[in-house]
Each structure stands twice: as structure tokens, then as C-alpha cells.
A and B are shown apart, each in its own frame.
Chain A
């Protein structure tokens, strides 16, 4: 997966935890710790960036294309030369929570250490034991970063880190702030800490720092982020229309466990976050995360609630496809998403009331139409589903028409999209998943 998190950045890169000498673990019963550490790694979504198909688990090598050159995720297996086998626990902790490499250089904040700073000492310990004893060493170097000097100098990272990343002490203090009940506290820990949901779902500032790293910093936290690989992360707060207002606790749990529910389906980077991460979490933890998310007050409290409007469906069902884009919709979308826009969730997601397509920025919707989307099979929901890519079939005008129809129909009432916008978005359209060689085999 390529989060492409910093596509506008000129100087950010990915974590490169380089190697040194071999350290020793205390003698202890490690099997339980390894299991706990594996779980923490899943909750932290480590493999989403550090495991690339064909290179070995956690062997790194995921490419992040930046305007200044490509950088690659690092090998975090316990190989002493190419991985992190030489790290002491203190060094490991400093890298994960503070973004400082063993040699003292700063990591590029594609590594979400500002969130990981919140991780408990116990989880860090378990994570360390897991990476040292539960992961197979891979003696293969991640590709060298391709950023030319002087842009490759990491000094600005050190400054960035000092300004924008919290100290572990401060982060832990915020973790331990008063929350309504234990369940929400655990949920807050997972979402704000290892889960690093805000890395995508929170807005970023001028220096691409997250404007809020936890809910205690205000309602900007998880209020929706900038486009990643062409897809716009939605608000995870209780915002009407564009957030999770209307989602139940079970909806959120099902989504995080399987990538699909009656409200919608994951696409883009979220499929990786679920595939590598949240699907492996316990029901109790998923419920805690859901309860926490449900407790987040809306960032835009003045937005009115979405209400279903049957008029578009009534017209289509009467054979009236005269509305702008309606005919394209009937020919290309209706089989799965239905004339009433309700889809056949969880197989085919509803378009009516779907928060992804009611935002001011139509990029997600346009890009899904242009490039398609694939929901991979998950352990608890083995079926993969693919939405075809239409950029080779539909003109920009046709896509503008159908997207306008979808955004207007069924009470969605979002603004129209012009052909010029679609044409512009064509440039940033993600590569269709199928063409990336990731083929869901059903």
C-alpha cells in the first residue's frame, strides 16, 4: 500500500530504522509477550507500511513517491545488518515514540511517532519482544531512499520533531486524562495512539503536522483529512452528512472487522488499515474504539442531518432518466447500487446517505468512478468485491454527469461536479488496484 501521505511534501520521507549492534533481551517468558506484541503490531498497523508482497514480512521496501524522489519503508525485522536487530529496547522505544533513529538521526514523520508517543511502556516492551523474537529476520536491505542531497539532510526533521511531536511524558499525560468510562479510555488509547487514525483522518497544518493529536486538543481531531492517493478521509466525528453521525456502535465494529457494513465499504488506504490492522483486533477493543468515536462531538455542528428523498428513485423506477447523469447511472451503476441508491450492502455499498460522497470535495467519488475500487477479503468476511474502473469507458463529461446525479439524488444534495473538475481529477486518479497486481481471487 502506498499511503502517499505527503504527496505535497518536499522533504518528508519514511522511517528508516537502521541497524547496529545486537542487544539482549532479559530472560523471561516471552511467548505471552510475543503474542501481546504481535497484537500491538496489528493495532499499530505496522505491516501496512513495512510489509510488501514478495519481500518478507516486515522487510520494508514500500515505495513512497514524493516530488523530490522516492523513499522506502525500512526493514524492521530483527536482522542485525539490514533490520533493527541491533536496537536496544530503549533505542527501539525512542524510534517508535520519538522518531529518533538509533544513530540519532530523525525519522521522516511518515512514521506516525507523534501518535505512537502515546503508546504505553508495556505495549512498547511487548512490541520490542515481538520484533526481536517473534519476527523472522530478513537479510535484505530496503531500497535506499532516492532523495538527492541536500534535500536528504534530515536536520529539518529534527526541528519538525521538536516543534510538532509531543514528548512521551506529555503524550502519556494526555492518554491518562479523565474520560467518561474505561471502555472509552481504551478506545481513545487505540484510536489516538497505536491506531494512529488521525494520521489520515485529521487535518494537517502548513508543515503537514496534524493540527490535533487527540480529542483533548479540540474538534479538529479526526474531522477529516487531506486526500491520500486521491481519496479523501472522512470525518470520524459525529458530523452529519460527512461524518459518522447515524452509524451505530455495531456499524463501526463491523466496518473495522470486515471492511464493510450496511453503510458502506472501505476503499483506498482504509482497506489496508483494516486488512493489516483492525480486522485482527478483539471485539472488545473494536467496541471500545467505536464507543470512543461515537463520543466525539461534531466539528461542524451546524450541518443538517441527511434524510432520504425518494424522488430520484421514483423517477428512475418510472422509466424517467431525464435528470442529468441519470442515464449513465442506469447503464453503469444501477445494477449494483440500485435505483433507490441503497445498494445491496454489505455486498454493494449504498450511495444514498454515504458520507464519502457528500463532502464538498468530490475527489473520492470521482476517483472511485475513474479507477474503481477493490475491497479485499478479510478473515471474518472472506469475499472480495471489486468496483470496475470507468475512466476508459466514460468521458469526463459522463463521469461529471453521473457523479452530479449521485451527489444530488436520494437526499444527498451535494454540489454538482463539472467536467473540468473531473478532467483535473483524472491527473490524480489512483492507479486501479487490479493493475497494481493485487487481484482478489473470487
Chain B
């Protein structure tokens, strides 16, 4: 059978894929976007009130990956046998149009500029010996100044709500004073603050920290973005993370990009199309297209293209590169090869404070991206010299709306009874009168933390599963403990009646059974050296120049900030350089 040919194939219909597909069709290319999941429509499963069904949503994973078809295996150390991740818990990759961009919360950060050149900055400030043995600390190869226009563009597309600190060097608001300079305001003013967030704001300020409104891709007002699509305003219903927003107020590819993209006749979206591999020519220097499985007909389809964009979820990107033979797989013994290298995550621990019975926090209220944070202990905003670790954490009250099942199964916490009347009373007390504070921190890359193909287990299509080798390391545990220690005075300043501090324990092992965050990163990282990175600074494969790999897979380290804003900016950055440079002269944009 003769394969069909298009200008560009985009793999995955999440944020990165939708941005690339939009940009490439704007450039005049015919684009086919392949998504293995279903079509998703707010008007169908996201409608009110059926969308705000916690059992169907967050508990039974309506919008998440179907692990019965394909999953990952996980182990903590090199000497273990990895076992399949059969029940979603620690992280929740999405499936279907919109991907994880449909079920995310909406926290929409830029980047701490120091994080982009973390190795250079750490070495410059503390010397090379400060970097612990076995840590693959690296730079991104791109600067904040280069990315700024694309952060700005992404915020305008997402309809992001926030408060600036400086714009073009001048103080323009009471925003995050550690945030880098901006070229423009946020498209919408910051979200309103729930009671817990405003308490945190005043307490953190009293302790001497610098609180700011979390930048949120939850619309604080109705909004029309540069593509002409509309958002409704957020009403703090709390059904963000794990749900499609019935108010059209949480940014998603579905709401913010696809309505415009779908009108373009050069764009085709094919759902239920599971990409098996990127096809390469004989000498593995050029991609010729992809092979995908049509999940409706169970038939394999070949589709040819001049340009292939791998823009699925972070670990799917790495999996696809390994299955396709793009680049050299990483070898932890020799510390050679690049595909699967620098697999990273984030540290997140939650502390809780209980207030007086007269203070109602009403945890059911909230918005996924809204809250108040401090950056005093993030990135390189504080002196690591005497502390002896790399990395940091923003700290925040991000009251995202605790749904009833989660509240009940989570229990009252603290030292409350585990059953009976005392349990119920404590649970009600917790639901009404407590608040939580997260330390949402970085996770560095280590030589023996990586991704490769599993030698034992395969997916429903006969392909080896991706294997994760991941564990917490002393550097990150100590970072978390230090930052959580800084939360305690804030809680005291709030006048809490009691509190519990959540932190990683010494020697703690990564536990897949407890939800932490879906902010996985790395594995196909960007950089300046083809020996230590998969893609160049334009996210172009060093090895196969007509393949670009877009997503958090490009992060050399897990940063303290939520990744979506960075993913979107990198997507626009890569798209800009594809449009302005690559398409005029296809080939490597950086000589290896």
C-alpha cells in the first residue's frame, strides 16, 4: 500500500502538539495530528453538572491514560526488577484530545532564569565540587531573554491571570519579586484569593517573605485570546485537576487552540491513532513518517511526512524515540548515550494547619491555578553555600478545591481517631477549618535515574514498555526538609491551633502508590552538547534533523515551578525557529 504524504505529522494532541500544529498550519504546512485517545468535547463529557462527578473523574480516571493498553514499569534501583504501573496513583498522564492539558490544574509559571543555566550558575557561585557525585547537572542552552516573547505569547493564548512585578524593568505590580522581567502585563488580572490564601499572604509577609499571586491559567474574567477563542470566567468550583472545565475557564488545548485550528483546512486530527514508531530512512538520518495503529480498525497505517513532531507526554516522547531508534539509548553504567538520560520528577510535600472553629477555609472552594506563593526558597533565590544542596521549592497555598471523596478518603489527618465519631468530627473540622501548604520543589538528575525499554513487559501492541528507574536522592530530600522548615514560622504566624509538617524522610524511597505530581521531566533533554543531550536548543533531534521533540522531556532538571508554562514557551520557541529557519533550509540548525 502506498503511504499518504503530508508536510508534517504532529504526535499527541496536548499543549505541545496543538501549539506546533497551529504554528505549522499558520506557516502553510499540511499537518496531521495523531492522538491515540478519544475526541474530547466540553459540551459532552465536560458539561455541567455531569463533569463535576468526582467518582467518574478523579477517582475512576475518566481523562487519564488507560493503563490496560500501555503503561510503564517502575523500579527504584538498578538491581531491581521493574514492575508495571497498573494503577494510576503517583502521576496521572492524560489520554485523548487535550492530553494532560485538559485535566491539569492551571498553575502557569514562566521559569526561574537561573534554572535555565543551573550547572553554570552553581559552578560559578559554589564551585564544581559543590555538585554531588552522580548528579548530571546541566544547562538548557537557552536563555530567559530568548524565551520571553514565547512566554508572553503562551500567556496570551492561555488567558493567564496574574500580577506582574516588573515590566520592561519598571515595577508594575505587587507580583513575585523573584520573577524575571516581563515585556507585558498578564492578559488577565490575578485570580481572587480564597481565605486560606489571603491568610498565607499576610503571615508570609509578617515572617519577612515575599508573597505573590500564583499565575493561573484559570480565567479571572471572560477572555478572548489572539486566536479569537473565548473563555468564561472561573467560579472557584474546584473541579480543575482531573476534570474538563465546564465554565471554559481553565485553559486547555481544546478550549484555547483547537477551535481555531480545526477551522484550518490544512489541519487534520486523527484520534484513536496510536503511533508505534517514527519511520527512518536507511541510514537513520531522516524520518520518513510514522507508523500508527488505527485503534478502530486494528490496522497499521503508514503516513509519510517531511517533518515529524514528537509532542506527546514526557515519557511517551522518550518511549517513542527508543522504539524508533532515534539517537543512542542512555547507558547508566558508562554514563553515555542520551535517550532516557536525566529522567526527573519533582519533590512535593504537603503541610497542614488547623485554624480556630470560627475560621472557615471551606476546602471545597478553590481553583486549580490560584493561590499565594513565596519564591524565597526557590531556584537560586537563597544562599545554598552553607546548606550543601542544589535546588529549591516555591511554597504556596494553592487551594484547588478538595472534593468530598478525596476529603473522606484522605481522612482528617493529624492525630485524629481513625474511625467512629471522633473521626467524623475531625474530618469535618479539617474540611472546614484547615488549610494546606505545599513545598513544590525541584528534583535533580542523577546518573542512575533514567528511562529505557523494559526487558520483560510489553504493551497491548507487543512493544516493550518503557522502564523507569527512579528514586529520591539525599540532595533533594535535604532540600525539601530545609524548605519545609521555613513553612513552620508561617503557620505559627497564622495563629494555627495545630499543624503537621509534611516532608520527605531521610532515605525515603519513591512510592508509586501515593499521588505526588504528574510533573515528570527529562529523558529527551535539550542542551548544547550532543553527547549529553537528545535535542539541540531548538528541540531538534541531534541525530534525525527532521524530528523535533517537544515537551517536558526536554527539561534537564525538574524545576520547582509547574512545567506547563515552560512546555508551552519551548513549543512556541521551537515553532518559531522551525518557521523562520528550518523550513527555509531543512537540516540541522546547530552543527553537532
Decide if A25 is an interface residue (CB 8 Å cutoff).
no
Cα–Cα distance between A332 and B246 once the two chains are bound (Å): 12
Stretch at the interface among A48-56, A79-87, A185-193, A385-393: A385-393
Closest CB-CB distance, A344 to chain B, in whole Å? Answer: 4
Decide if A231 is an interface residue (CB 8 Å cutoff).
no
> Do residues B44 and A434 form an inter-chain contact, with CB atoms below 8 A?
yes
> Do residues B43 and A336 form an inter-chain contact, with CB atoms below 8 A?
no
Interface residues on B, range: 20 to 34
Chain A contact residues: over half helix, strand or loop, or mixed?
loop
Cα–Cα distance between A344 and B249 once the two chains are bound (Å): 11
The residue from A344, A382, A386, A434 contacting B227, defined by CB atoms under 8 A apart: A382
Known: A344-B222, A441-B254, A442-B255. A386 touches B47 (CB 8 A): yes
**Chain B positions within 8 Å of A442 at CB level:** 41-43, 229, 248, 254-255, 258-259
**Chain A positions within 8 Å of B235 at CB level:** 335
**Chain B positions within 8 Å of A162 at CB level:** none
Decide if A312 is an interface residue (CB 8 Å cutoff).
no
Closest CB-CB distance, B368 to chain A, in whole Å? Answer: 16
Cα–Cα distance between A203 and B228 once the two chains are bound (Å): 37
Nearest A residue to B236, CB-CB: A335
Decide if B48 is an interface residue (CB 8 Å cutoff).
yes
Enumerate the 8 nearest inter-chain pairs by beta-carbon distance, A residue then B residue, closest first. Answer: A386-B43, A382-B259, A383-B230, A347-B232, A442-B259, A344-B222, A383-B229, A388-B47
Known: A336-B232, A382-B228. A439 touches B247 (CB 8 A): no
Closest CB-CB distance, A306 to chain B, in whole Å? Answer: 23
Query: 1/0 contact trace for B180-222 toward A, CB 8 Å?
Result: 0000000000000000000000000000000000000000011
Nearest B residue to A389, CB-CB: B47
Decide if B276 is an interface residue (CB 8 Å cutoff).
no
Stretch at the interface among A27-35, A169-177, A373-381: A373-381
Decide if B585 is an interface residue (CB 8 Å cutoff).
no
**Chain A positions within 8 Å of B221 at CB level:** 344
Decide if B114 is an interface residue (CB 8 Å cutoff).
no
Query: 1/0 contact trace for B471-498 toward A, CB 8 Å?
Result: 0000000000000000000000000000
Cα–Cα distance between A383 and B47 once the two chains are bound (Å): 15
Kindly list 18 other residue pairs between chains A and B, CB separation below 8 angstroms, not including A434-B43, A441-B41, A442-B229: A347-B248, A380-B228, A381-B228, A382-B227, A382-B228, A382-B259, A383-B259, A384-B43, A385-B230, A385-B248, A388-B48, A439-B41, A439-B43, A440-B42, A442-B42, A442-B254, A442-B255, A442-B259
Decide if B413 is an interface residue (CB 8 Å cutoff).
no
Give chain B interface residues in 81-100, CB to chain A under 8 Å: 97
> Do residues A382 and B229 form an inter-chain contact, with CB atoms below 8 A?
yes
Decide if B332 is an interface residue (CB 8 Å cutoff).
no
The residue from A347, A374, A384, A386 contacting B231, defined by CB atoms under 8 A apart: A347
Decide if B325 is an interface residue (CB 8 Å cutoff).
no
**Chain B positions within 8 Å of A386 at CB level:** 42-43, 47
Decide if A348 is an interface residue (CB 8 Å cutoff).
yes
Query: 1/0 contact trace for A341-385 toward B, CB 8 Å?
Result: 000101110000000000000000000000000100101111111
Cα–Cα distance between A441 and B232 once the two chains are bound (Å): 16
Q: List 30 A-B contacts (CB under 8 A).
A: A332-B48, A335-B235, A336-B232, A344-B222, A344-B233, A347-B222, A347-B230, A347-B231, A347-B248, A348-B222, A374-B43, A381-B230, A382-B229, A382-B259, A382-B260, A382-B263, A383-B229, A383-B248, A388-B47, A388-B49, A393-B49, A434-B43, A439-B43, A440-B42, A440-B43, A442-B41, A442-B42, A442-B43, A442-B254, A442-B259
> Do residues B48 and A335 form an inter-chain contact, with CB atoms below 8 A?
yes
> Do residues B48 and A383 form an inter-chain contact, with CB atoms below 8 A?
no
**Chain B positions within 8 Å of A347 at CB level:** 222, 230-233, 248
Cα–Cα distance between A384 and B97 once the two chains are bound (Å): 16
Give chain A interface residues in 366-425, CB to chain B under 8 Å: 374, 377, 379-386, 388, 393
Cα–Cα distance between A336 and B222 once the two chains are bound (Å): 11
**Chain B positions within 8 Å of A393 at CB level:** 49
Point out which of A380, A385, A388, A441 has the most chain B C-beta atoms below 10 A from its C-beta. Answer: A441
Decide if B365 is an interface residue (CB 8 Å cutoff).
no
> Do residues A348 and B232 form an inter-chain contact, with CB atoms below 8 A?
yes
Closest CB-CB distance, B258 to chain A, in whole Å? Answer: 6
> Do residues A377 and B43 form an inter-chain contact, with CB atoms below 8 A?
no
Closest CB-CB distance, B100 to chain A, in whole Å? Answer: 17
The residue from B43, B258, B263 contacting A379, defined by CB atoms under 8 A apart: B263
Cα–Cα distance between A335 and B47 once the two chains are bound (Å): 13
**Chain B positions within 8 Å of A336 at CB level:** 232, 247
Closest CB-CB distance, A174 to chain B, in whole Å? Answer: 39
Give chain B interface residues in 1-48, CB to chain A under 8 Å: 39, 41-44, 47-48
